[in-house]
Amino acid sequence: MFAYCADPKSLEGLQWLSCYLTSGSHMSFYASFLTVLVLLAVTAPVALAFGYAGAMAGRSGAAPLRWLGKGYMAMVRGIPDVVFFLFFVVALDQGLEYVLHFARCSDWAEPVRQGLEFRVCPAAKIPPNNAPQVVHQIYGFALAVLTFAIVFGAFAANVLTGAMKAVPRAQLETAESYGMNNRQINRRILVPQMWIYALPGLSNLWMILIKATPLLFILGVQDIVYWAQQLGSMKTQAYSYPHPDWRLGYFLSLLVFYLCMTKASELVLDRITARLSRGQAIVKQSGASA
Amino acid sequence: MSCLDTIHSYAFRSLGYGERLLPREGFDLCQHVTLIGSGLILNVYFAIVALAAGFILATALAVGKTSRHALIRKPCEWFIFLFRGSPLFIQFFVAYQLLVMLPRAGITVPLGLFELTLNTNWITRAWAGAAIVLFLNTSAYTAEIFVGALRTVPRGDMEAAAAYGFTGWRRFRRIQWPTMMRLAWPAYTNEAIFLLHATTLVFFSGFPAFQQRGDALYYASYFAGKTFNPFIAYPIVAVYFIILTLFITWVFGLVGRYLNRHLPTNERQRRRPRLLPQIIR
């Protein structure tokens, strides 16, 4: 970064620190904070879409669709999310490759499951074996986003179902009496009104999503936890910047980062709630902001 | 090896009894169910210890947070914010690093005539360290639930208590606390469920599994890693947790009915714990 950083072993004090904190791996560390923010920005709308689809399916008139929606909503209540995170990434990966295997290599003779191993033909590998490292990383990140979206979509579906039930029945009956069909009622009356009821639950969900982001580490993405562990562990004289075990410091900085994120979100969400409740004839829900 | 043999050797593997080595071949359904079930004992242990101890601390924190004195209120607020505002995952890492810094040989406390040596070896083990983190974490979450309940205790109840001459500790013990429990119970049920789910994070917490005594996820990932097949091990964990969740819902439902026994019931409108999505912290 700086010109005097060429020989880090000769440096001391503040100069050493400034070089240390701007080294290449530290830049990756700072970039991984961006990864977390990107994950939040991408996952939140995708999860909301999943949740919306789930809630709509749960209200559907067709029984199989309704069961699907209800089952989707029920699964998160009984099963720890960590199990989903471990399961979905491998399951999605293997599932995609399995489908491609049948599409591309129909003449492949060997079975896919050979005893303990999962083998698909080379053409079905995602991403291809010879793909650059970046593609592998992006694929891993996309799988992570999808997993997050599935799990948090189930939560969002729960929230949205509750919100739909909270819209006063009289509103829908009025719409019916005006001769609207089910679809029109949904689009013009139900959906526009449900958001204010969904807001406390959704802001809750946002907070939980923030606090779930370190689980990226479990999914094998090089996120802030990964880098904190890498950078914090003891470095011998073989490294340019030898130092003792500083993991505590790195993890404490992550802790502070998350506390700041939580506090900032709290302030913003409070303002949004205040703004949206203006002129609304509903009492502020006290229990929902737990 | 028959299934009974497997159960005999591995049923209490997570506690250190039975066969020393994990199975290296076979990996049949029986081994899966037995070993993962054995790991589940640890998850249940974490949940019970954290819930029981957390309940007491949470009550104290809730009373502290509603206190009028800033000297009492502020520390409680900060504690709750610290543990509710940061991810449990990070808390585990920080706690582990802190606990590792304790001197290996133990701390010597001079007590005048003799010296007391506190052994610190045990605290970095998962059974102690992770339980402490879970305990502090659930205390903060439960305290927030209790604070909400304390603030909604009907004003009339307190005025009636004052009219009968209840003050201080007696008023809290006889009037405030029972009502608080009654109001907080549905949310507290959720907290218990999500705490149980949070115990699975112990596997990733950095606290090493001593002598391969791990929790349910430890054995599940062992099998998934050996067989490259996540479709058996993880669904077994899921089924176990669904059963446990139903059990918690049932037990807490019984307690909830006991707490509400003096109120007119309307069976058709039972108070069921609502889903407050608080699964991850």
* B157 has pLDDT over 70: yes
pLDDT of residue B268: 52
Rg for chain B, CA atoms, rounded:
22
Cβ of B152 under 8 Å from any chain A Cβ?
Answer: yes
Residue among A158, A251, A263 minimizing CB distance to B277: A158
* Long-range contacts at B154-161 (CB < 8 A, ≥ 24 apart): B154/B179
Confidence of residue B208 (pLDDT cuts 50, 70, 90): confident
Interface test with B, best of A72, A83, A160, A213 (most B CBs within 10 A): A83
Out of A46-50, B4-8, B136-140, B193-197, least confident range: B4-8
CA distance A221 to A32: 10
pLDDT of residue A286: 43
Q: Provide mean pLDDT across the span A23-31.
A: 86
pLDDT of residue B254: 93
Residue indicated by tokens 């909830």 = B256
Chain centre distance of CA A139 = 15
Neighbours of B3 (CB within 10 A): 13
Spell out which residues of chain B touch residue A251, defining contact as CB-CB under 8 Å: 90, 93-94, 97
Name the token pair of B54.
């957390």
- Angle subtended at Cα B165 by Cα B161 and Cα B166, rounded to the nearest 5 degrees: 55
Q: SS3 sequence, chain B? A: CCHHHHHHHHCCHHHCCCCCCCCCCCCCHHHHHHHHHHHHHHHHHHHHHHHHHHHHHHHHHHHHHCCCCHHHHHHHHHHHHHHHHCCHHHHHHHHHHHHHCCCCCCEEEEECCEEEEECCHHHHCHHHHHHHHHHHHHHHHHHHHHHHHHHCCCHHHHHHHHHCCCCHHHHHHHHHHHHHHHHHHHHHHHHHHHHHHHHHHHHHCCCCCHHHCCCHHHHHHHHHHHHCCHHHHHHHHHHHHHHHHHHHHHHHHHHHHHHCCCCCCCHHHCCCCCCCCCCCC
Rg for chain A, CA atoms, rounded:
25
Spell out which residues of chain B touch residue A80, defining contact as CB-CB under 8 Å: 196-198, 200, 237, 241, 279
Report residue B114: phi and psi, to 5°: -130, 170
Out of A11-15, B37-41, B119-123, B229-233, least confident range: B119-123
Closest chain A residue to B246, measured at CA: A78
* Amino acid (1-letter code) at residue B40: L
User: Is there a contact between B204 and A118 if contact means CB atoms under 8 Å apart?
Assistant: no
* B272 has pLDDT over 60: no
Cα A279 to Cα A120, A273, A284, B224, distances in angstroms:
59, 12, 12, 55
pLDDT of residue A289: 39
A45 neighbors A153 (Cβ within 8 angstroms):
no
Name the token pair of A256.
């502070």
pLDDT of residue A290: 36
* B87 has pLDDT over 50: yes
User: Is there a contact between A208 and B278 if contact means CB atoms under 8 Å apart?
Assistant: yes
A55 neighbors A164 (Cβ within 8 angstroms):
yes
Residue among A87, A215, A287 minimizing CB distance to B234: A87
User: Is there a contact between A259 and B98 if contact means CB atoms under 8 Å apart?
Assistant: no
Neighbours of A278 (CB within 10 A): 7
Confidence of residue A280 (pLDDT cuts 50, 70, 90): low
Out of A238-252, B37-51, B129-143, B245-259, least confident range: A238-252
Question: Minimal Cα–Cα distance from B111 to chain A, Å?
Answer: 31
pLDDT of residue A285: 45
B216 neighbors B43 (Cβ within 8 angstroms):
yes
Residue B270 lies inside a defined structural domain of this protein: no
Residue indicated by tokens 């802790």 = A255
pLDDT of residue A284: 46
A235: helix, strand or coil: strand
* A281 has pLDDT over 70: no
Give the DSSP H/E element, type plus range, for residue A274: helix A247-277
Task: Find the farthest-apart pair of alpha carbons in chain B and give their distance in angstroms, rounded.
Answer: 73
Cβ of B241 under 8 Å from any chain A Cβ?
Answer: yes
CA distance A256 to B85: 9
Q: What is the CATH number of the domain that holds B108?
A: 1.10.3720.10
pLDDT tens by residue, A82-139: 888 888 888 888 888 888 887 777 777 676 666 556 777 777 777 777 778 888 888 8
Out of A12-21, A30-39, B232-241, least confident range: A12-21
DSSP letters, A77-138, are: HHS-HHHHHHHHHHHHHHHHHHHHHHHH-TT--S-SEETTEE---GGG-SS-TTS-HHHHHH
pLDDT of residue A283: 46
Q: Provide mean pLDDT across the span A209-224.
A: 85
* A198 has pLDDT over 80: yes
- Residue B140, domain extent: 50-216+239-263
Cβ of B238 under 8 Å from any chain A Cβ?
Answer: yes
Closest chain B residue to A261, measured at CA: B85
Q: Provide mean pLDDT across the span B130-158.
A: 92
Spell out which residues of chain A touch residue B97, defining contact as CB-CB under 8 Å: 247-248, 251
- Residue B203 CB partners (closer than 8 Å, separation 6+): A82, B209, B214, B215, B217, B218, B221
B191 neighbors B249 (Cβ within 8 angstroms):
no
CA distance A127 to A135: 7
% of chain B beyond a pLDDT of 70: 89
Residue among A215, A263, A290 minimizing CB distance to B89: A215
Cβ of B225 under 8 Å from any chain A Cβ?
Answer: no
Confidence of residue A210 (pLDDT cuts 50, 70, 90): very high
pLDDT tens by residue, A56-92: 998 887 889 999 988 888 887 778 888 888 888 888 8
Confidence of residue B262 (pLDDT cuts 50, 70, 90): confident
Out of A47-56, A110-119, B14-23, B214-223, least confident range: A110-119
Residue indicated by tokens 């307690």 = B255
Residue B268 lies inside a defined structural domain of this protein: no
Question: Minimal Cα–Cα distance from A280 to chain B, Å?
Answer: 23
Cβ of B250 under 8 Å from any chain A Cβ?
Answer: no
Closest chain B residue to A118, measured at CA: B228
pLDDT tens by residue, A162-180: 888 888 888 899 999 999 9
Interface test with B, best of A43, A219, A251 (most B CBs within 10 A): A251
Closest CA to A262 of A206, A198, A202, A196: A206
Closest CA to B35 of B16, B17, B22: B22
- Residue A70 CB partners (closer than 8 Å, separation 6+): A58
Spell out which residues of chain B touch residue A205, defining contact as CB-CB under 8 Å: 277
Closest chain B residue to A88, measured at CA: B230
Question: Minimal Cα–Cα distance from B123 to chain A, Å?
Answer: 17
Cβ of B148 under 8 Å from any chain A Cβ?
Answer: yes
pLDDT of residue A287: 41
Q: Does domain A18-82+146-289 fall into CATH 1.10.3720.10?
A: yes
Name the token pair of A93.
């990966």
Name the token pair of B55.
């309940």
Closest CA to A33 of A218, A208, A241, A250: A250
pLDDT of residue B44: 95
Question: Minimal Cα–Cα distance from B229 to chain A, Å?
Answer: 7
Spell out which residues of chain B touch residue A228, defining contact as CB-CB under 8 Å: 93
Number of domains chain B contains: 1
pLDDT of residue B244: 93
B277 neighbors A159 (Cβ within 8 angstroms):
yes
